């Protein structure tokens, strides 16, 4: 697939932004600055970016509890996200959502979702809106291997096929649902083949390879926009961190963890690929790294210094009957 | 204005709103019926015939028959609502809430608050409920307290054809998720219903009868039971005010409290199981806010704390009746009489 240098730079910048964002969140969480709990997306950057680079603001995505990467890839404001995670008034949800509920409806980001398997039916609904109103919008349902075992996923897939809706199911198989491995928890060991059984095109791809994700999404998107209904992509990737920030990960061997970081890094894969084919210079990429690093550091400072929500916000944005 | 059934009133509301707003769609199992079959279209029009005729008027693109897949129905409706449609999703029997509640109480109900006020979820979920057909333990329950407990949901429980039409139109035009509950035993009752569209506001109780001796608050089918009891009591000179809250979230506390302040006695009639019920809730706020006006304890007339039985004789014993309501009122009056002696 032919890609311009500009597209490649954008892809790399987005992936680097996600990585730097998560590294910063990891540090801030570890130092006690972030309340609650967070789930880091590092290692899966190629999935979010490879998919969302095809989408416009008016397309929709539904996300997961591990949703920072999807938000960034869909164009959510970095400062607004960081403030939300810090629980500040200036956050994208006014501090009422937090890491697991970042949403930006105007950008088609229908929310990170703290219920595993929660968002596929919602994305199917967004696709129904597109079909009913006759727009060419599409919806993407991001889920993990854990979510892929939920009944909501099966119901959403069948509904999408029955109603021929413009939705793309993207399952990021990072090898673990919390602390349980996919080889144990996925009975058939093949999530895409299950999806194929629902009657839609389904494939598994190397989710560490941005180019593979980008190409698979291009095909799925063409089907969705062209009125041919849903598709399914199982993107096999690696989770660099634990299930949650601070997870000691006793369920993974030291060797596996080391290998995950060393061999399972989509940014390193990307650099090697564009370097080998002389598409981008390493120095260009280094410049992006430095710019992103600065941007994220500034976002942390702004979030740290931002105002807390006013206590009166407790009672707004909901009907109160008492 | 003409005489119509509760069923017709709901059908008219759906028809009128679908006509008015192309974003209104009806989603559910057999809301038309006949898709993929060898017989006729609109074979069911909803299992109780409530949505009959809509598919003929608006087509299958807007009257969407689904597989039996309640999580996907509710989730799809929520996702559609937050992105610009105004879906009316049918759960069929409210008892089926167990297989799809997450999409309602964790998803749809919370979008607006959780996303800092930036999301609207104009979704109506219709479901029938209630005992009286020997439909057994999984098709007869009154679960409105589940929904009333959840911030972000509005809950509507009409008792007359007039209210059913006006409240459903109000629900469809509301920007929050609304649970609209229809008692199965009310579908065939008749009442005067205007032909044109109109709304009945949420949070305004209906006072169906006024009397100075006791306040009876009742919901849905129990409103009719309460009115029957009030008739019997009137024959012996005891006069009851009968109040139908019509919506339980928001609930019109003021009308109930004003009446209790006047009568000094409160009986709440609720077909639901008693623990953590609407009956308990209404009794609680009356005790809290009208305590010094009370001349006697508050009485709750409810179903027992059992599943709904199948056998007609058992089911009849399960459902609160006018005799029980009458007895409860007389007991309260006797307490005062005893005190005076």
Q: What is the pLDDT of residues B261-316, one digit of tens each?
A: 999 999 999 999 999 999 999 999 999 999 999 999 999 999 999 999 999 999 99
Question: Is B82 an 8 Å CB contact of chain A?
Answer: yes
User: Residues of A263-295 as b/e, b for ≥16 C-beta within 10 angstroms?
Assistant: ebbbbebbbeebeeeeebeeeebeebbeebeeb
Give residues 8 to 37 of A whose Cβ lies within 8 Å of B. none
Q: Distance from B39 to chain A by nearest Cα, in Å? A: 20
Task: Tell me which residue range forms the domain holding A237.
Answer: 5-315
- pLDDT at position A321 is 65
**CATH number of the domain enclosing A116:** 3.40.50.970
A321 within domain boundaries? no
Find the residue in A nearest to B76 (Cα). A125
The C-alpha angle with vertex A156 and arms to A153 and A157, in degrees rounded to 5, equals 85
Residues B152, B241: one domain?
no
Domain end, chosen from B139, B164, B193, is at B193
- Kindly state whether residues B218 and B274 are assigned to the same domain: yes
Looking at the structure, tell me whether residues B27 and B83 fall in a common domain.
yes
**Residue A38 located in a structural domain:** yes
Alpha-carbon distance of A167 to A199, in angstroms, equals: 14
Does any CB of chain A come closer than 8 Å to the CB of residue B83?
yes
Residue B306 lies in a domain: yes
Residues B171 and B31 reside in one and the same domain: yes
Average pLDDT over residues B147-174: 98
Q: Please indicate, yes or no, whether residues B220 and B255 belong to a single structural domain of this protein.
A: yes
Final residue in a domain of this structure, among B167, B193, B219: B193
Please give the pLDDT value at position A278. 85
- Give pLDDT, residue B340: 65
CA distances from A100 to A96, B222, B236 (A): 11, 43, 62
Report the CATH number at residue B256.
3.40.50.920
Q: Helix-strand-coil percent breakdown of chain B, rounded to 5?
A: 40, 20, 40
- Tell me whether residue B201 is in a domain: no
Any domain includes A265: yes
Q: Is residue B280 part of a domain?
A: yes
Beta bridge partners of A109: A61, A104
Residue A41 tokens read as 């997306």
- A-chain residues near B64 (CB < 8 A): 128, 163
Binary contact (B111, A103; C-beta < 8 A): yes
Residue B341 has a pLDDT of 59
CB contact under 8 A, B69 and A155: yes
Does B186 share its domain with B218? no
Report ipTM for this prediction.
0.94
Residues B49 and B93 in one domain: yes
Asked if residue B198 belongs to a domain, the reply is no
pLDDT value at position A277? 87
The pLDDT tens digits of the residues spanning B33-85 come to 999 999 988 999 999 999 999 999 999 999 999 999 999 999 999 999 999 99
Give Cα separations from A102 to A62, A76, A110, B227 (angstroms): 11, 9, 8, 50
**What DSSP letter does each residue of A190-222 carry, written as one string?**
-HHHHHHTTTS-EEEEETT-HHHHHHHHHHHHH
Same domain, B219 and B133: no
All residues of chain B having their beta carbon less than 8 Å from the beta carbon of residue A120 are 75
Asked if the structure places residue A322 within a domain, the reply is no
- Determine, yes or no, domain membership for B279: yes
The number of distinct structural domains making up chain A is 1
Residues B115 and B153 occupy one common structural domain: yes
Give me the domain span that covers residue B263: 206-340
| Interface mutation vs chain B, best among A65, A116, A122, A139, most B CBs within 10 Å | A122
Distance between CA A98 and CA A101 in Å, rounded?
Answer: 5
Calculate what percentage of chain B has a pLDDT beyond 90: 96
Domain assignment present for B130: yes
The total of structural domains in chain B comes to 2
What's phi and psi for A72, nearest 5 deg? -65, -45
**Which chain A residue has the Cα nearest residue B250?**
A321
**Residue B265 resides in a domain:** yes
Q: Are residues B215 and B116 in the same domain?
A: no
| C-alpha distances out from residue B308 to A159, B2, B147, B280, B317, Å | 33, 36, 19, 19, 10
Indicate whether A269 belongs to any domain.
yes
CATH of the domain at B10: 3.40.50.970
Q: Are B43 and B34 in contact (CB under 8 A)?
A: yes
> A320 in a domain, yes or no?
no
Judgement on whether residues B183 and B213 belong to the same structural domain of the protein: no
A135 touches chain B (CB under 8 A): no
Q: Is the minimum CB–CB distance between A155 and chain B shorter than 8 Å?
A: yes
pLDDT per position as a tens digit, B3-28: 999 999 999 999 999 999 999 999 99
For chain A, list residues with pLDDT below 70: 321-322
Cβ of B83 within 8 Å of Cβ of A163? The answer is no
Report pLDDT for A301: 98
Q: Tokens 């879906």 map to which residue?
A: B87
Is A124 in the B-facing interface, judged by CB distances under 8 Å? yes
Query: How far A124 CA lies from chain B's nearest CA (Å)?
Result: 5
Per-residue confidence band for B338, with pLDDT thresholds at 50, 70 and 90? confident
Question: Of B193, B224, B247, which residue is a domain's last?
Answer: B193
CB of B227 within 8 A of CB of B208? yes
For residue B1, name the pLDDT band (cuts at 50, 70, 90): confident
Q: Judge if B308 and B245 occupy the same domain.
A: yes
Tell me if B200 is assigned to some domain: no
- Catalytic residue list contains B224: no
Which residues of chain A have a CB within 8 Å of the CB of B201? none
């Amino acid at each position: 697939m032919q890609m311009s240098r500009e597209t490649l730079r954008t892809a790399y910048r987005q992936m680097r932004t996600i990585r730097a964002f998560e590294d910063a969140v990891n540090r801030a969480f570890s130092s006690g600055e972030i309340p609650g709990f967070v789930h880091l997306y590092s290692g899966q950057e190629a999935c979010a970016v490879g998919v969302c680079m095809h989408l416009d603001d008016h397309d929709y995505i539904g996300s997961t509890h591990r949703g920072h990467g999807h938000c960034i890839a869909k164009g959510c404001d970095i400062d607004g996200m960081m403030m939300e995670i810090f629980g500040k008034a200036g956050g994208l949800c006014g501090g009422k959502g937090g890491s697991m509920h970042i949403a930006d409806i105007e950008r088609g980001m229908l929310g990170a979702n703290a219920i595993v398997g929660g968002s596929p039916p919602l994305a199917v609904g967004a696709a129904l809106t597109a079909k009913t109103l006759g727009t060419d919008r599409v919806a993407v349902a991001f889920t993990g291997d854990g979510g892929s075992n939920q009944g909501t996923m099966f119901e959403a897939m069948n509904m999408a096929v029955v109603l021929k809706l413009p939705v793309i199911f993207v399952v990021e198989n990072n090898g673990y649902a919390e602390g349980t491995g996919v080889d144990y928890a996925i009975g058939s060991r093949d999530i895409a083949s299950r999806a194929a059984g629902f009657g839609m095109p389904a494939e598994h791809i190397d989710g560490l390879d941005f180019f593979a994700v980008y190409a698979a999404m291009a095909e799925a998107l063409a089907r969705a926009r062209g009125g041919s209904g849903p598709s399914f992509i199982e993107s096999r990737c690696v989770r660099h961190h634990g299930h949650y920030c601070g997870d000691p990960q006793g369920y993974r061997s030291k060797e596996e963890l080391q290998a995950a970081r060393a061999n399972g890094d989509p940014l390193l894969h990307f650099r090697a690929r564009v370097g080998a084919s002389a598409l981008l210079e390493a120095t260009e990429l280094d410049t992006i790294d430095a710019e992103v690093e600065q941007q994220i550091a500034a976002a942390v400072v702004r979030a740290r210094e931002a105002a807390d929500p006013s206590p009166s916000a407790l009672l707004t944005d909901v009907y109160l009957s008492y | 204005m003409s005489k119509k059934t509760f069923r017709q009133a709901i059908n008219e509301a759906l028809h009128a709103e679908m006509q008015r707003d192309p974003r209104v769609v009806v989603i559910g199992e057999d809301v038309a019926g006949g898709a993929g079959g060898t017989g006729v279209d609109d074979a069911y029009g909803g299992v109780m015939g409530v949505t009959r005729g809509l598919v003929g008027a608006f087509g299958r693109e807007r009257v969407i028959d689904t597989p039996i897949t309640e999580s996907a129905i509710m989730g799809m409706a929520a996702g559609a609502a937050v992105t610009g449609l105004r879906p009316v999703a049918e759960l069929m029997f409210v008892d089926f809430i167990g297989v799809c509640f997450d999409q309602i109480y964790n998803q749809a109900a919370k979008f607006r608050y959780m996303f800092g006020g930036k999301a609207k979820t104009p979704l109506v979920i219709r479901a029938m409920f209630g005992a009286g057909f020997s439909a057994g333990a999984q098709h007869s329950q009154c679960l409105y307290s589940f929904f009333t407990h959840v911030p972000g949901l509005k809950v509507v429980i009409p008792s007359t054809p007039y209210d059913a039409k006006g409240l459903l139109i109000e629900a469809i035009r509301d920007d929050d998720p609304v649970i609209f509950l229809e008692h199965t035993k009310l579908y065939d009752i008749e009442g005067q219903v205007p032909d044109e569209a109109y709304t009945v506001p949420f949070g305004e109780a209906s006072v169906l009868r006024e009397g100075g001796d006791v306040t009876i608050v009742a919901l849905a089918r129990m409103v009719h039971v309460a009115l029957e009891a009030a008739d019997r009591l009137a024959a012996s000179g005891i006069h009851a005010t009968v109040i139908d809250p019509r919506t339980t979230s928001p609930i019109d506390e003021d009308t109930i409290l004003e009446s209790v302040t006047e009568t000094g006695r409160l009986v709440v009639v609720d077909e639901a199981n008693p623990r953590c019920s609407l009956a308990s809730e209404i009794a609680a706020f009356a005790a809290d806010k009208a305590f010094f006006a009370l001349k006697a304890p508050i009485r709750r007339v409810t179903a027992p704390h059992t599943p709904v039985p199948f056998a007609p004789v058992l089911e009849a014993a399960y459902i609160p009746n006018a005799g029980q309501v009458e007895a409860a009122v007389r007991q309260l009056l006797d307490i005062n009489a005893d005190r005076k002696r």
